[in-house]
Amino acid sequence: MRILLLGYGKMGQLIDKLATEDGHTIVGKIHIDNRDELKSITRNEADVAIDFSQPSAAVENIKWCIDQGIPVAVGTTGWLEQKEAVDNYCLKNHGTYLYASNFSIGVNLFFKLNEQLAKLMNSQEQYAVTSKEIHHTQKLDSPSGTSITIAEGIINNLGRKTKWVNNESDKAEELEIISERIDPTPGTHQVTYSSTVDSIDITHTAHSREGFARGAIAVAQWLTHQKGVKQMSDFIDQ
C-alpha cells in the first residue's frame, strides 16, 4: 500500500515507522513547511492518505484528497463544525473518506460498550453520570474528539442528558466532561454512573500511541476498497 501522510507530528512519524515495518510505502510526508509538495502527488502515486494534521488544515486536506481521487482516513479533530459540508462535498464529487475521533480498535469497542450501558441506565434515574478524560499536555483540543464521541453516545441513549459541557455542572440535563492534561498520558477515558449506594465505571486506558497508529493503518488499507463517507462502525462491523 502506498500511503500519503498529511501531518508529520508524533502520530505521523509513528505511522511512518509501523507502516514501513509492515512493508507499506510512504510516498509523501506533508507538513506545514512543505505543503507545496502536494502539487506533485497524484492518484497514480498514492493508494490512500492518512491525515493527522491540524484542525486548520484538515478540511483543505480532505477536499484535496477527494479532488485527486485519493481515499483519506482522517484522525485530526477540532474541525467538526464543517463536517456536514465536507460530507456533502465528498458525496457530490464521488470521493472516499473516513473521519474517526480515535482509530484505536479498543476505543471503538469502548464506544459501543458506552452506548449499551447508557441504554441500560436510561431507566435507572437514581444514577448520575459524568465523563472524564486525561491526555498529555500537547493535546490541543479540549475536550478531545474521543470524549465528544463518548458524550454523544451517552446523550443519544440516555434521555435525561441533552448536551455536554466541558466543566462541572449541576444542571440535570448537562453531561459534564472533565478534561485533564498530564504528561506523559497517551489517553484515558472514563464514564462513571454514581448513586447513593454504588458506582459503575467503565474505563479505557491507552498504554501508548501504537494502538491509534495501527488502527489508522488498518482502516486506510480497508478504505482503498470503499466509496463514499464511511465511519469506524462500518470498519468494525465488517
- What's the grid cell of residue 78? 477540532
pLDDT category at 43 given cuts 50, 70, 90 is: confident
The predicted model gives 158-186 an average pLDDT of 94
- Which pLDDT belongs to residue 202? 98
Q: What mean pLDDT, rounded, does the chain reach?
A: 94
Q: Which domains does the chain have, with CATH numbers?
A: 2-103+210-236 (3.40.50.720), 105-205 (3.30.360.10)
Residue corresponding to grid cell 484528497: 65
- Which pLDDT belongs to residue 124? 98
Cα→Cα distances 67→15, 19, 37, 61, Å: 24, 25, 16, 10
pLDDT (tens digit per residue) in 85-139:
999 999 999 999 999 989 999 999 999 999 999 999 999 999 999 999 998 887 7
Report which of 187, 194, 97, 82 is spatially closest to residue 143, judged by C-alpha positions.
187
Distance CA 3, CA 16 (A): 9
Report whether 55 contacts 140 (CB < 8 A). yes
The predicted model gives 169-196 an average pLDDT of 94
CB contact set of 219 (below 8 Å; sequence gap of 6+): 73, 98, 100, 103, 232, 235
The predicted model gives 151-168 an average pLDDT of 97
The residues assigned a catalytic role are: 135, 139
Residue corresponding to grid cell 500500500: 1
pLDDT category at 161 given cuts 50, 70, 90 is: very high
pLDDT category at 42 given cuts 50, 70, 90 is: confident
Distance CA 57, CA 47 (A): 21
